[in-house]
Chain A
């Protein structure tokens, strides 16, 4: 393993969050993003060599992160060494889905699509850091407009929002275009 791969391994081990390639490149002034990608590939291959390790290198949430393999989750949780976060409710997932596709979007428009007010759910999503206020609308009262956060990507193991299925890939294509802001 070359010294850059070792440095990256140490940084990834130390960080509780996914680290973007640019930040990894900043670890060493002589290193380009291209070098980092090559070293990450090497590291990933190492984690997978000989039937793999208990952890693996995963690209998600806008960066790279070392994660445990799913098959050990139960045992770890049973021993209470780490605990899985709570599942999101159906209503929370609906609200997140709408925000992810229509951001920036206001509370009224979310309620319009869901047919139910989303005030309480929005509040808890804000508290969990999955959405954030990203702008203010032009309409009456200049409503707060919400968007998804990097933690949203991490929560759903997405590299970026474009990884979500495109609207025209869904079984039912929406007839109305998303409203321009």
Chain B
């Protein structure tokens, strides 16, 4: 920590360097790269002590002290600086430049920045052309033809019913049909005359159960060959007669 304060003196000694807005930096590599560019430093031979010093100074100037990524880079630079200070012998085998990894990362980052310029240009060009419904509000996919789930349908029905007035409740009394009774009635009618018509066997203002009972009784009697049902033409009255077609012939 001593070294960190030692290399970050009160007066930054990079006079002449231009002032950069904080928002311009997309990270420590970006800051480092701009530093290298401003100072016209050869990226393959970075004077690490000088760069490290300026990096820390700029961190403080741009209030980047809290940003972990910048602190990590600062630590990395100090580490490289320390490595560079270690004595080494002329022509020593296997010595690797401690800056190599940093240079590789910087080049990689710079290459990526180049792609960013390309994308920026292309994106700006496309941004300036409208397609149909390109604007944000209109990009929703077109509505499919009405497709409701059962739940949605039930909710809608519920909503309608809620709004409707309270339904009147009726009590429904089950009433059995009286087919046997109707058979007795029909036989009685036919006992008096040869033929009859529908309204002879069903009283006026008959209840539905009486109508149905008479109908079923007629069909039943016809089935038992006790009478014949003939409709001379469509929609004409049905003739109910005691004489069966076969007997009449």
Listed in ascending order, the chain A residues whose CB lies under 8 Å from chain B are 13-17, 58, 60, 65-70, 73, 76, 82-85, 87-88, 90-91, 93-94, 96-98, 100-101, 113-117, 154-158, 164-165, 167, 170-176
Stretch at the interface among B83-91, B127-135, B148-156, B179-187: B127-135
Q: What is the bound-complex CA distance between A7 and B177, given in angstroms?
A: 68
Stretch at the interface among B109-117, B158-166, B210-218, B221-229: B109-117
B238 within 8 A of A: no
Q: Are B134 and A157 in contact (CB under 8 A)?
A: no
Q: Are B133 and A58 in contact (CB under 8 A)?
A: no
Q: Are A114 and B29 in contact (CB under 8 A)?
A: yes
Q: What is the bound-complex CA distance between A153 and B132, given in angstroms?
A: 17
Q: Are B126 and A155 in contact (CB under 8 A)?
A: yes
Q: What secondary structure prevails in chain B residues at the interface with A?
A: helix
> Residue A115 contacts which of B27, B127, B132, B133 (CB distance < 8 angstroms)?
B27
Q: Are A67 and B28 in contact (CB under 8 A)?
A: no
Q: Are B123 and A176 in contact (CB under 8 A)?
A: no
Listed in ascending order, the chain B residues whose CB lies under 8 Å from chain A are 24, 26-30, 69, 73, 104-105, 107-116, 118-120, 122-139
Q: Are A174 and B26 in contact (CB under 8 A)?
A: no
* Smallest CB separation, B142 vs chain A (Å): 8
Given contacts A67-B129, A88-B123, A171-B114, 11 further A-B contacts (CB under 8 A): A17-B131, A73-B129, A82-B130, A85-B127, A97-B116, A113-B112, A114-B112, A155-B126, A156-B122, A157-B126, A172-B107
Chain A positions within 8 Å of B107 at CB level? 172, 174-175
> Residue A67 contacts which of B24, B111, B131 (CB distance < 8 angstroms)?
B131
* Smallest CB separation, A119 vs chain B (Å): 13
| 18 residue pairs A–B, Cβ–Cβ below 8 Å | A13-B132, A14-B132, A16-B131, A82-B130, A82-B134, A85-B136, A90-B24, A97-B116, A101-B112, A113-B112, A115-B28, A115-B105, A157-B125, A157-B126, A157-B129, A165-B118, A172-B107, A172-B110
Q: Are A60 and B28 in contact (CB under 8 A)?
A: no
Chain A positions within 8 Å of B123 at CB level? 87-88, 93, 155-157
Q: Which of A58, A101, A113, A167 has the most B CB atoms < 10 Å from its CB?
A: A113
Closest residue on chain A to residue B133 by CB atoms = A16
Lowest 7 CB-CB distances: which A-B pairs, in order? A116-B27, A157-B126, A97-B115, A67-B129, A115-B29, A70-B128, A156-B122
Closest residue on chain A to residue B73 by CB atoms = A115
Q: Are B26 and A97 in contact (CB under 8 A)?
A: no
Chain B positions within 8 Å of A101 at CB level? 112, 115
Chain B positions within 8 Å of A98 at CB level? 112
Q: What is the bound-complex CA distance between A172 and B114, given in angstroms?
A: 9
Closest residue on chain A to residue B118 by CB atoms = A165
Q: What is the bound-complex CA distance between A117 and B72, given in angstroms?
A: 12
> Residue A76 contacts which of B73, B130, B139 (CB distance < 8 angstroms)?
B130
* Smallest CB separation, A102 vs chain B (Å): 9
Closest residue on chain A to residue B115 by CB atoms = A97
Chain A positions within 8 Å of B69 at CB level? 115-117
Q: Are B136 and A83 in contact (CB under 8 A)?
A: yes
Chain A positions within 8 Å of B116 at CB level? 90, 93-94, 97
Q: Which of B24, B30, B123, B131 has the most A CB atoms < 10 Å from its CB?
A: B131
Q: What is the bound-complex CA distance between A173 and B116, given in angstroms?
A: 15
